[in-house]
Structure 1
Amino acid sequence: MSLVVDAIGWTGAALIIIAYFLITKRIVDGKSRLYHLLNLVGGIGLGYNTYYYTAYPSTIVNILWIIIAVYGFLKTIENPRRKD
């Protein structure tokens, strides 16, 4: 089971790093659906991993990360003019 949890955690970390790279290179902006979706799925993966390994401070950070990503993603749905 821990191998699966590790893979989920590493995938989550990779998605967050990809999101950061894309925004840094200005391939996407902070209002894009892709950016928020990468952060959301990445946060879920890291959150699950940190919870499994009882790293609760990191779990709390990832829960907050997920909440912010959900908020940002919902804002893109409210404003469908954004393409990405």
Structure 2
Amino acid sequence: MNEVPFYIDIIGWAGAATLLIAYFFLSNGTFKSNSYIYQGLNASASVCLIINTYSYGTIPLVVLNTTWLLIGLNSIRKLAMAPSK
């Protein structure tokens, strides 16, 4: 079995931390769910977690994180297309 490089673990931990930080700030009211910062953190965390889970071959988690990424990107698209106030 091939050894997964250590930097893949770092990428995974960074993604997990980013996801938790985004959720923490959302829960405390610092971020709004329809903000670029929240959705951007979610999307970037998902990319990190996709890289990590794919490297370990955990395909169900790759699918989960890919879905999470697509939801975040769709939210960013909606924010960008919304009329400015």
TM-score using structure 2 length: 0.90
Aligned counterpart, 1:35: 38
State the 1:80 CA deviation.
Answer: 6.2
C-alpha change, 1:77 and 1:61, in structure 2 (3 Å) is same
Runs of at least 5 residues in structure 2 that lack an aligned partner in the other structure: none
Mapped to 1, the partners of 2:76 and 2:64 lie a distance apart of 18
Q: Root-mean-square deviation (CA), in Å?
A: 1.4
Q: 2:16 aligns with which of 13, 17, 25?
A: 13
Structure 1: runs of 5 or more not aligned: none
Using the alignment, how far apart are the partners of 2:26 and 2:43 within structure 1? 15
Deviant stretches of 4+, over 3 Å: none
Change (3 A) 1:3 1:31: same
> What residue identity is the alignment partner of 2:37?
L
The count of aligned residue pairs is 82
Taking the aligned partners of 1:24 and 1:81, their CA distance within structure 2 comes to 26
Q: Computing the radius of gyration over CA atoms, which structure comes out larger, 1 or 2?
A: 2
Give me the whole-angstrom Cα distance separating, in 1, the residues matched to 2:83 and 2:24. Answer: 24
The percent identity for this pair of structures is 32
